[in-house]
Amino acid sequence: MSDQLLVRHADRYRDLLALIFGGLLPLGLAPFDYWGIALLAPAALFWATWGASRLRLMWRFYLFNLGMFTTGVSWIYVSINTYGGASQILAAFLVALFVSSYSMVCLPQAWIYGTWFRSNLVAGGLGFIGLWVLQEWFRSWFLTGFPWLFLGYSGLETPLAGFAPVAGVFGVSLLICAISVFLVLGCMTRRIVFFLVPLVIAITGFICGMTDSTNSKKRISVSLVQGNIDQHTKWNPENRSAILSAYLDASRSEWGRDLIVWPEAAVTIFRGAASKVLTDIDQKIGSMGSSLLAGIPDRDEVGGFQNTVIALGDGSGQYIKRRLVPFGEYMPLESVLRGLIQFFDLPMSRNVPGPRQQEPILADDLKISVSICYEVVYPEIVREDVREKDLLVTVSNDTWFGSSIGPWQHLQMARMRALENGRAMVRATNNGITALIDHQGNLQATLRQFEPGVLRGDVEIRTGLTLFSRFGSLPVLFLSLLLALFGRFLPLNWLVIHGDA
């Protein structure tokens, strides 16, 4: 009887361990950047699930994800309550519903792990690593994708960042998870060889970080205008002229700079209705030798809304946002949800996406790769558009996040896109965090949140492609699949280590 009681207590402790370390994992990401915690989180889950029954293992995977999403995407509450008009109770309920439901995305990974890897500790470790990355990839596209809280982002401030231009964020996730698992294997088996693997990975990452596959071309001057427009009144028709005047007033001293960027939907007048004022701006800044990129709403041929960035002055072309935000820019199950609460009836939430292939925006002789808000969190969207482009530009309106951790997470993901593709990035936002990012993902300068201002600086234009830009995430995903399959079919007479649960 006492043995059964001990087992039950041990099970509960391991359940709690999975929940706690899942909740702690976001501390390894921005704005906290305690990367050591992110390194420990997979180790805790691997140890807590080894030797458990399949159902118990799946439960612990779920608890880990429940903790991770509860703390990591808490900013959703701000969007729903502050800007969506939902009461505190309703907002909390909707967040809890989303988190508890979306945490189930780990269950296929957990079922495969619990079914395939039951006896060989090394095989279990390899399978855990491969399935971790495949689960992150699954989250990047399942139900349109929610590519948030990837383990690889915690490596941005470590030597492992050197792997990002080679293998992207999924590659960094794989290596962090590998270090974590091999440290556990070393502790459980007391074999020195397992401790050598993390050391080799770290040294290799440091060496990779010292190499550069892109070349400097020239430098240009840029100015990023942060308007700090109140989201509650932004789309009031009475404020359209005042908002446009605020951006023009802030930009007049910047005419003559090579590139000026206004944030997402900085102009709140539809493009067709603003044609005269846009022509005036185009002629004015063109005579000064500047290019202006400005976010503005537009309509397609049948009247659908489009989230657009246009180029004026020495610039030309437009970009229409391709990957829309569910509930923010379009409404899934619109006939059911529209009108239930204010959050399901936000302004500009009837958008239509732009085509996948679009002509590049030009700023003088530079080809610009533009991503609007949410698009920058998708590694493949940015990568597919970076070929033959000189500079990454992302515009956003992170007002929806308020003073939560959301804007910092968003900025961190933008930094990873710059590092992956070896291109400088300029990031213009409504109220923060406006930033200049170099081709190695380092922050050159930022503006304070919730203050209007202009961020001035020079950015380096580079040529050439990183390995990630050439091949994308496919090699890492293939390697992850191989790890899982190798672990599955690893002969039990090869390095048989059962370990203790």
Q: Which residues pair with 26 in a beta bridge?
A: none
Contact present, 448 and 218 (Cβ < 8 Å) = no
In angstroms, the CA 127 to CA 114 distance is 10
Tokens 């805790």 belong to 44
In angstroms, the CA 379 to CA 363 distance is 24
Contact present, 390 and 368 (Cβ < 8 Å) = yes
φ and ψ at 136, to 5 degrees?
A: -60, -45
Catalytic residue among 254, 373, 375, 389: 373
- What DSSP designation does 330 have? B
Structure tokens at 353: 């996406």
- DSSP secondary structure letters along 373-386: GGGGG-HHHHHHHH
What's the full length of the chain, in residues? 501
- DSSP secondary structure letters along 203-239: HHHHHHHT--S-EEEEEEEEEEEE----TTTTT-GGG
Catalytic residue among 264, 329, 375, 420: 264
Cα Rg of the chain (Å, integer)? 24
Contact present, 435 and 410 (Cβ < 8 Å) = no
User: What is the C-alpha end-to-end distance of the chain, expressed in Å?
Assistant: 20
In angstroms, the CA 423 to CA 383 distance is 11
Catalytic residue among 106, 177, 254, 321: 321
Contact present, 265 and 227 (Cβ < 8 Å) = no
Catalytic site includes residue 264? yes
Q: Which helix (H) or strand (E) holds 294?
A: strand 291-299
- Using alpha carbons, list the distances in angstroms from residue 31 to 194, 325, 396, 405: 32, 23, 18, 7
**315 in helix, strand or coil?**
strand
Q: Report the catalytic residues.
A: 264, 321, 373
